[in-house]
Structure 1
Amino acid sequence: MRRPRWIGVLVLALVIAGAFAALGQWQLARAVAVDPNLAGPTEVMVPLQTVIKPGEPLHDVIVGQQVSLSGEFVPGDYVILGTRLNGDVKGFWVTGHFRVDGAQPASMAVALGWAPTRADAQGIVDRLSATAATPMDLTGRLVPPQGPLALDAKTPDPFLLNEMSVAALINVWDGPAGEVYLPYLISFEAPDGLTKIDAPKPVMELELNWLNIFYAIEWAVFAGFAVFLWYRLTRDAWEKEVDEAAEKRGDPSPFE
């Protein structure tokens, strides 16, 4: 019906339908989200002290964060870890006790590199332990610590650590630890004789929020209903006018 009133109602219905459609689009955008455990600007190198302090846990959004730090390794506090994979090959890590510069120096466990045999790793440890402490800069990724592995009768060497547990490393370091960073660092550079440890960037995984998808469908239904309601009201008004005109002429209703 080309009546100003119903044209105005049509415009109102289209505005309401557009608002419902926008709400549906917003809900649909929220339905596809990045996993919060793997999100974050991890590929931007930042100073260690700007993202975490000694004693603080590593929050999910900064797992794998690239950081830079300055300090020196504590001589004699190099520890070998067993059963560490490089690809599909088991080997050994050489780890170090790094004292981070600051108003109050703090300790950080650092995974320096991988060796195929324990003898190779021990040779690197002996060489590094004989080197005097030297101020240096490090870069690497922050990684959550692993829990200490319980020993049993089948353990070939009860004195060999197999997990990158910061708590366990503190117990075997000779130098005083003082305040300690809870995560450890995988160094981007390995000493001569060691293979660089693979530390890829976190993979951003997508997840669907089905509740938001359901809400988006609801808003689409509401948008369609707003237009349908205008059509139904307009048709009813038109049929009423046609019936009234037929009654005045004495004709039967064309809709019966």
Structure 2
Amino acid sequence: MLRTLFSPRLFALHAVTIGLLVVFVMFGIWQMGEFEESGRPRAAADPAPVAVARLSAPGEPLHSESIARQVTAEGEFEAARQLLVPGRYEDGKKGFWLLAPLRMDDRTTIPVVRGWIATADDPAVAVPSGRVQVVGRLRASEPTDAVPRRDQILPAGQVATVSTGELVNLWPGVRLREGYVVQTSGSAAVPVTVAPPTMPTEFDWRNLAYAAQWWIFGAFGVFMWFHFVRDAVRGAAKSERGAAPA
């Protein structure tokens, strides 16, 4: 039987089958990768900065297309109301966000994340005085489910989340615009990394079908290889029995 399995004709069949099987499996993996890639969000158009007042208003939720847009805001920071947001990471390091209210000309306020610092006594904590123009990206208000439990109360001057619903209580007497701006330039603190806007995409199901097709070809090749080998072994055995002396 071993002599039949490793005869030149069947050995060539084994080699061809293995080669085709590797090719079919690799093509299937490639198409599966294309299928997974097709469903990943794509970078959307990143228009020039617009005034934050065009995208955010007090008491009105942000539209999805406004999130991560580049915006500008002019006014004065209220230094006495600046807060630290602990547990924020930048470049793999844990630290704080600097969160300050920016009072605009129309007497509304937009929360601004001025940047990231490693320690609470970093010199960048100092808030710029006078009129400033902030350039950054607009983000949606964070959920408040990250607020610490009663046994994990934060020190005074710190807040767990950048949430409009929480900030209205911490900054009484202000008209808060929805969301917050992550300042991307012009701050003494380390800029917080924020991704540009993305757009959802749909899976290309054809790639999944192509992957299945290649793997079916591979399975069929193994099926045919098995039948060829089985028939060859049976034929050799029959020949040996016929050639044996009576």
CA distance in 2, matches of 1:101, 1:151: 34
Match of 1:142 in 2: 138
Paired residues of 1:141 and 1:187 also in contact (CA < 8 A):
yes
Give the partner amino acid of 2:111: A
What are the superposed Cα offsets for residues 199-220 of structure 1, whole Å, 9 maximum, x if unpaired?
221344421376xxxxxxxxxx
CA distance in 1, matches of 2:116, 2:190: 5
User: Alpha carbons of 1:195 and 1:165: their partners in 2 closer, same or farther (altered >3 Å)?
Assistant: same
Unaligned runs of 5+ in 2: 1-37, 206-246
CA distance in 2, matches of 1:42, 1:48: 15
User: Alpha carbons of 1:150 and 1:51: their partners in 2 closer, same or farther (altered >3 Å)?
Assistant: closer
Match of 2:185 in 1: 189
Paired residues of 2:39 and 2:202 also in contact (CA < 8 A):
yes
What are the superposed Cα offsets for residues 104-129 of structure 1, whole Å, 9 maximum, x if unpaired?
x2110000010111222xx443x32x
Q: How does 1:1-256 map to 2 (within 5 A)?
A: 41-102=45-106, 105-120=107-122, 123-125=123-125, 127-128=126-127, 132=129, 134-148=130-144, 149-152=146-149, 154-155=151-152, 157=154, 159=156, 160-173=158-171, 176-178=173-175, 180-192=176-188, 194-208=189-203
CA RMSD, 1 decimal: 3.0
Identical residues among aligned pairs (%): 23
User: Alpha carbons of 1:168 and 1:124: their partners in 2 closer, same or farther (altered >3 Å)?
Assistant: farther
Paired residues of 1:113 and 1:190 also in contact (CA < 8 A):
no
Paired residues of 1:151 and 1:158 also in contact (CA < 8 A):
no
Shift of residue 154, structure 1, vs aligned partner = 4.8
CA distance in 2, matches of 1:42, 1:169: 29
CA distance in 2, matches of 1:94, 1:58: 22
What are the superposed Cα offsets for residues 6-40 of structure 1, whole Å, 9 maximum, x if unpaired?
xxxxxxxxxxxxxxxxxxxxxxxxxx8996xx876
CA distance in 1, matches of 2:79, 2:89: 26
User: Alpha carbons of 1:172 and 1:124: their partners in 2 closer, same or farther (altered >3 Å)?
Assistant: farther
Paired residues of 1:34 and 1:204 also in contact (CA < 8 A):
no
Unaligned runs of 5+ in 1: 1-31, 211-256
Give the partner amino acid of 1:60: S
Q: What TM-score results when the alignment is normalised by the length of structure 2?
A: 0.59
User: Alpha carbons of 1:208 and 1:107: their partners in 2 closer, same or farther (altered >3 Å)?
Assistant: same
Shift of residue 99, structure 1, vs aligned partner = 1.1
Paired residues of 1:82 and 1:161 also in contact (CA < 8 A):
yes
* 2:65 match: secondary structure: helix
CA distance in 2, matches of 1:39, 1:51: 20
What are the superposed Cα offsets for residues 61-80 of structure 1, whole Å, 9 maximum, x if unpaired?
12101111221112311111
Q: What TM-score results when the alignment is normalised by the length of structure 1?
A: 0.57
CA distance in 1, matches of 2:108, 2:45: 25
